[in-house]
Amino acid sequence: MKPNNTSLQKILLGVSGGIACYKSCALVRLLKQQHIDVRVVLTEAASHFVTPLTFQALTGHPVHQHLLDADEENAMGHIRLAKWADHLLIAPATSNIIAKFSHGIADDLLTTLYLAADCPVTIAPAMNQAMWKKPVCQDNIRRLRQHGVNIIGPDNGQQACGDIGPGRMSEPEQICQYLLAQENLYLKDKKILISAGPTREAIDPVRYISNRSSGKMGYALAQAAEKAGAEVTLVSGPTHLAPPERIQMIAVESAEQMAQAIIPIASQFDVYIGAAAVADYRPIRVEDRKIKKQGTNTHIELKQNPDIIAAVAKLTPRPFVVGFAAETHDLENYAKNKLSDKNLDLIAANIVGQSRGGFDSDENALRVFWPGGQHTFPMTDKRHLADQLLQLIATKLDE
Ligand code: PMT
């Protein structure tokens, strides 16, 4: 693992009760190896899986367990403990703790600390696959994401109970790397231009042609790039997402507007990432009055839109150009063709139209291709994926 050259110094690790608790011991050791000061908060349930003494020995600090314990309050009151941390990490995070966090219930030390914490929060869920898939649990996860909580995992695979599916806590090494990357300014001084969301191609004053892009992938890239120290400009088609903080945002509607916003400025950037689902075609004629129902069949004649990313790749000077490829089949072939036809430096290909990942999902998986190489990022939260992709892009910029 890379040495810790981040600003991350103090982690408050919340351990809630599940069989994955044993992995938290390995996690503490990895964080300590990075010279990070770790304090542990154990829930009542977690203390049945791993004793406080184990964590005390591993961290070199007393373990915090109770909200209303006079000794602990003297040693470090819960508000001071929350203020002390650079990052609050919950691993494992059970469905119970996730439900409490997402509804602001503060009935023990860990849930109270979550409310009091002003620092970034990351949770590593761990539970049975059926519990993870339950709509109420997914609703809670969605709420936490909306509240800005980072979610790593869970991984797919064999579970302690014998089930197979999503719910395994991410491996300690993966969690540790994720946290270090969160605080690592690996894109410092870089200017990054990102497109996101769908385009809308007007047919008449009330109708348009569009697609299922929610903007989540592009916005996640913009947020992760900003966090990694980049100066970010986001050109977005219409979405329901809040404009990300500290990011210059240009709102557009059609592919032509997106092209006009991007092509004239792209030369000023180090990287251009085309995550937007740009409509390839638009109606030849936009009627100025609502089209009336006529006959049983009708047709709309379409003409090609400008290919924005191909135009950016032709600029001099040109940024490092990263495309996306959204495919329902034959992913590798189509992605590699787009890489060469559009003269891109790198392409991130995702399967769309399935139950997990792709359009309008909080998760995604990517196969990334560049001339002479490739890498696969398995299904994970779009924010985590964005961070992984940007780290790869950063290494390519250094080459
Ligand atoms: O927004 P989400 O709901 O989170 O979904 C994410 C996503 C599936 C939209 C995203 O991950 C993705 O794949 N974006 C690209 C979708 C797409 O339009 O792919 P494409 O294979 O049609 O286009 C290839 C590349 O050319 C893309 O980088 C695209 O931005 C670019 N392009 C396409 C057409 C055009 N006229 N101009 C372009 O710049």
Shared domain for 128 and 224, answered yes or no, is no
Q: Which one, of 170, 182, 188, lies nearest residue 230 by Cα?
A: 188
CB of 275 closer than 6 angstroms to any ligand 1 atom: yes
User: Whole-prediction pTM value?
Assistant: 0.74
Shared domain for 132 and 262, answered yes or no, is no
Task: With beta carbons less than 8 A apart as the criterion, state whether 22 and 51 touch.
Answer: no
CB of 326 closer than 6 angstroms to any ligand 1 atom: yes
Which CATH number do you get for residue 354?
Answer: 3.40.50.10300
pLDDT in tens, 355-381: 899 999 999 999 999 999 999 999 988
Q: Domain tally for the chain?
A: 2
Is 219 a domain residue?
Answer: yes
Question: How many Å apart are CA 237 and CA 103, to the nearest integer?
Answer: 32
3: pLDDT strictly greater than 70? no
pLDDT in tens, 42-90: 999 999 999 999 999 999 999 999 887 666 655 567 888 999 999 999 9
CB of 132 closer than 6 angstroms to any ligand 1 atom: no
Shared domain for 127 and 196, answered yes or no, is no
Shared domain for 74 and 202, answered yes or no, is no
Q: Which residue has the tokens 């400025």?
A: 265
- Average pLDDT over the chain reads 94
pLDDT confidence of residue 245: 86
* pLDDT (average), residues 121-149: 95
Is 3 a domain residue?
Answer: no
How do strand 37-42 and strand 231-236 relate by DSSP bridges? Answer: unpaired
**291: helix, coil or strand?**
coil
Shared domain for 170 and 276, answered yes or no, is no
Which CATH number do you get for residue 75?
Answer: 3.40.50.1950
310: pLDDT strictly greater than 90? yes
CB of 272 closer than 6 angstroms to any ligand 1 atom: no
Contacts of 312 (CB under 8 A, 6+ apart): 262, 263, 266, 272, 274, 318, 319, 321
Show which of 135, 163, 183 is a domain's final residue.
Answer: 183
pLDDT confidence of residue 84: 94
Show which of 129, 163, 183 is a domain's final residue.
Answer: 183
Is 254 a domain residue?
Answer: yes
Shared domain for 179 and 195, answered yes or no, is no
Is 295 a domain residue?
Answer: no
Shared domain for 149 and 264, answered yes or no, is no
| 161 noted as active-site residue | yes
pLDDT confidence of residue 74: 55
Shared domain for 218 and 166, answered yes or no, is no
Question: How many Å apart are CA 342 and CA 335, to the nearest integer?
Answer: 10
**391: helix, coil or strand?**
helix
Show which of 183, 203, 221 is a domain's final residue.
Answer: 183
Is 342 a domain residue?
Answer: yes
Shared domain for 202 and 106, answered yes or no, is no
Residue-range definition of the domain harbouring residue 319: 191-283+300-398
Mutate to test the pocket of ligand 1, among 314, 324, 329, 352 (most ligand atoms within 8 A of CB): 324
Atom from ligand 1 closest to the CA of residue 305: 36
Shared domain for 97 and 160, answered yes or no, is yes
Shared domain for 146 and 213, answered yes or no, is no
How far does the centroid of ligand 1 lie from the alpha carbon of residue 97, in Å?
A: 37
Contacts of 293 (CB under 8 A, 6+ apart): none
In this structure, the residue with its CA closest to atom 23 of ligand 1 is 325
Choose the weakest-confidence range: 2-16, 58-72, 93-107, 163-177: 2-16
Distance of CA 291 to the CA centre of its chain: 41
Task: With beta carbons less than 8 A apart as the criterion, state whether 377 and 358 touch.
Answer: no
Q: Which residue has the tokens 């470090």?
A: 76
Is 290 a domain residue?
Answer: no
Shared domain for 366 and 333, answered yes or no, is yes
Choose the weakest-confidence range: 32-46, 70-84, 239-253: 70-84
12: pLDDT strictly greater than 60? yes
Q: What is the DSSP string of 29-71?
A: HHHHHTT-EEEEEE-TTGGGTS-HHHHHHHHSSPPB--TT-HH
The pLDDT confidence band at residue 183, using thresholds 50, 70 and 90, is confident
Q: Report in angstroms the alpha-carbon separations of 317 from 29, 262, 320, 342.
A: 46, 14, 10, 16
pLDDT confidence of residue 387: 92
4: pLDDT strictly greater than 70? no
Burial 143-158 (b: 16+ CB within 10 A, else e): ebbeeebbbbbbbeee
Is 345 a domain residue?
Answer: yes
pLDDT in tens, 292-302: 998 899 999 99
Is 293 a domain residue?
Answer: no
How far does the centroid of ligand 1 lie from the alpha carbon of residue 139, in Å?
A: 27
The pLDDT confidence band at residue 182, using thresholds 50, 70 and 90, is confident
Contacts of 239 (CB under 8 A, 6+ apart): 196, 197, 198, 213, 214, 215, 219
Catalytic residue chosen out of the listed positions 21, 25, 119, 161: 161
Q: Regarding predicted confidence, which is higher, 185 or 70?
A: 185
